[in-house]
Amino acid sequence: MLSPLAFARAARVFSGATACLLLSFGTVGLKAETALLENGGFEDGLAHWHSRDEMSSAVAEAARTGKLGLRVVDEDEGLGSSLNSSEIFVNEGDVVEVSFYANTDDTFLGVYLWPVDVDGRLIKASERGDLVSVRIEPTAGWEQFTFQQTMPEGVSAVSIWVHSWSSATGTASLDDFKITVTPATPAE
């Protein structure tokens, strides 16, 4: 199994092709780009996602669309789940919007944006160490969630982090993650 750092590097190399593609279209205009995220619907299991524990899995019971979805089961009162998507390349000032669906009876997890610098170091949104996120409350069946963040100074890439909190427990289904990037308007 790859270490998180090795994984990040591998993902960075892989994402290079996407970044070049975006650059080549850059002259066309500042259009929001959607189809960036690999396997956002978990139809390929957890391929392109990186889990640091056994609490996240791709199962049929968690599918909103297709055959599979993400199931997070956290029964540990001391540890939380941790699952990152692959990284996509972004620039400072880009507006990154995350959209997904969740179905849960519990309040125990959030979905975060995880921006990193060129060395893979996390760039926090405040000195308190916050990340921009959405907190999942009990839902009435499948509900859509969206949130966004303007990419900070020094950013190189961003991923989605699905994380259940250490002292909380619960079960949730999540599916159909999408990332939309609206490029920063260049200075005149």
What residues line the site for Ca ion (CB under 5 A)?
A: 41-42, 63, 65-66, 69, 175
The SS3 call for residue 85 is coil
Question: In the complex with Ca ion, which residue's Cβ is closer, 151 or 172?
Answer: 172
Between 63 and 136, CB nearer to Ca ion: 63
The distance in angstroms from the start CA to the end CA of the chain is 47
CA–CA distance from 112 to each of 24, 115, 161 (Å)? Answer: 29, 10, 5
Q: Under DSSP, is residue 137 helix (H, G, I), strand (E, B) or coil? A: coil
- Residue 70 CB, nearest distance to Ca ion (Å)? 8
Q: Smallest gap, in angstroms, from Cβ of residue 133 to Ca ion?
A: 22
The minimum distance between CB 174 and Ca ion, in angstroms, equals 9
Collapse the DSSP code of 54 into the 3-class scheme (helix H, G, I; strand E, B; otherwise coil) and give the result: coil
* 19-to-47, 60, 100, 101, 179 alpha-carbon distances in Å: 20, 32, 23, 26, 14
Task: For residue 170, give the nearest of 132, 134, 131, 137 by alpha carbon.
Answer: 137
C-beta closer to Ca ion: residue 171 or 173: 173
Of the two residues 40 and 110, which places its CB atom closer to Ca ion in the complex? 40
Taking the complex as a whole, the smallest distance from the CB of residue 27 to Ca ion amounts, in Å, to: 35
3-state secondary structure of 70: strand
Beta carbon of residue 10, minimum distance to Ca ion (angstroms, whole number): 24
Of the two residues 12 and 71, which places its CB atom closer to Ca ion in the complex?
71
Rounded to whole angstroms, the Cα distance separating 185 from 42 reads: 33
Residue closer to Ca ion, measured from CB, 62 or 181: 62
Tokens of 144: 């859509």
Query: What is the closest distance, in whole angstroms, from the C-beta atom of residue 43 to Ca ion in the complex?
Result: 6
